[in-house]
Amino acid sequence: MLYTILILLFLLFALYAAYILGNTVYHCLYLNYDRTKPVPESVTIDNHVRDHLMAFTHEIQWYDSLSWWQRDGIMGGLHAMNDARVGFFAKYLSITKEERQHEGRELTFHDIGCGGGICTEELAKRGFNMIGVDMSKESIRQATTHAREQGIQNVNYVIGNAYDLSFIPPASSDGVVMSDVLEHFHDLPTVVHQVSRMLRPGSFLVFDTMKRNWLTFIINEVVQNSPLAILPQHTHHWSLMINVEELKTLLDREGMELKIVKGLGIDVFSITFWKAFLLRKREQFPFSITDDVMWNYIGYAKHPTSASHVPRAAVTYGYLDSGVGSTFLST
């Protein structure tokens, strides 16, 4: 009896190991995309790519059903990293504020892919006039409702798709925030171009995102596919993650300079982390800004100040929400 159980356990383990190995080889061979190019949405003969992108599309629907402001809910990780990331963003956006003080006008900052406004609202509280943009109507509804309940006046939310931000006038934004969203786009070159187009010369793009490396592979494809999974399936896709060099190439193309990149990490040697991990309390993960970039990274890039910068031709994207460019309140 004992032998039978042991053999069964061994077989189960062998099956699991074979799955992990197969999945690793498959990802390295077929899903390790060059993120300086769009991930080929139109490659219909490659069913794996299509399935992969279908999962990504479903993800947007999935977000629609979530509550952004429940700290101990599915969005707990974003709440956990909010202090660290907002502190970093505010530091650099403040430089623009100071530099433009003499212009005597109200500055406007945009948070693209703002979701329910966890980061946007905190920046508004710190005195930045924010416009949050997201393609998910439900997220914009939750963000608007929450800001209203909190009595925050200097934040507005708009439904919009990052692939076509033409409803925002060119060179009109004093700064763009893209937090935990770059790794959600299959056509990253278009998004970076759209952001560059809307920035006033000399303004900053502040962001955080995830590296595509062995560590994020283990987190996303091994831990996430095991009973230790900490996030729902399809929260992230390893092949949509972005290496620093890839992001730098895309920014270079737009004449933007990647200035600073830091880690946005968790101290995995701390008791706080293990306590939070074992109790499944994402909202208690101890995030902080670090010097080494292991997986999550945070940084900022500067838009060129010179007029010699000629951005590439605008790309219009095919699929837009019906409510694009409208606020939740007016739809």
Ligand X SMILES: C[S@@+](CC[C@H](N)C(=O)[O-])C[C@H]1O[C@@H](n2cnc3c(N)ncnc32)[C@H](O)[C@@H]1O
Interface residues with ligand X (CB under 6 A) are: 60, 63, 78, 113-115, 118-119, 134-136, 139, 161-163, 179-181, 184
CB 159 within 8 A of CB 134: yes
Nearer to ligand X by Cβ, of 143 and 255: the residue is 143
Nearest to ligand X of 78, 192 (CB atom): 78
Closest Cα to residue 199, out of 227, 176, 181?
176
Q: How far is the CB of 103 from ligand X (least distance, A)?
A: 28
User: Cβ of residue 211: shortest distance to ligand X, in angstroms?
Assistant: 16
- Quote the CA–CA distance of 222 and 225 in Å, as a whole number: 5
Give the residue closest to ligand X by C-beta. 115
* CB burial of residue 326 (10 Å; 0-12, 13-18, 19+): middle
CB nearer to ligand X: give 130 or 181: 181
Q: Write down the least CB distance from residue 162 to ligand X, Å.
A: 4
Q: Which is nearer to ligand X, 252 or 321 (CB)?
A: 321
Nearest to 222 by CA among 76, 24, 85: 24
DSSP string, 113-157: T-TTSHHHHHHHHTT--EEEEES-HHHHHHHHHHHHHTT--SEEE
Q: Identify any residues that bridge with 206 across adjacent strands, giving them in sequence order.
A: 177, 300
Give 228's contacts (C-beta < 8 A, 6+ positions apart). Answer: none
Taking the complex as a whole, the smallest distance from the CB of residue 60 to ligand X amounts, in Å, to: 5
Closer by beta carbon to ligand X, 239 or else 255: 239
Question: In the complex with ligand X, which residue's Cβ is closer, 115 or 299?
Answer: 115
Closest CA to 115 of 80, 157, 87: 157
Q: Which is nearer to ligand X, 185 or 255 (CB)?
A: 185
Q: Which residue has the tokens 């208690």?
A: 284
The H or E element containing residue 111 is strand 109-112
Considering the complex, what minimum distance in angstroms separates the CB of residue 2 from ligand X? 47
Question: Shortest distance, CB of residue 245 to ligand X, whole angstroms?
Answer: 23
DSSP per-residue codes, 155-198: EEEEE-BTTB-TTSPTT-EEEEEEES-GGG-S-HHHHHHHHHHH
CB of 120 to ligand X, least distance (A): 8
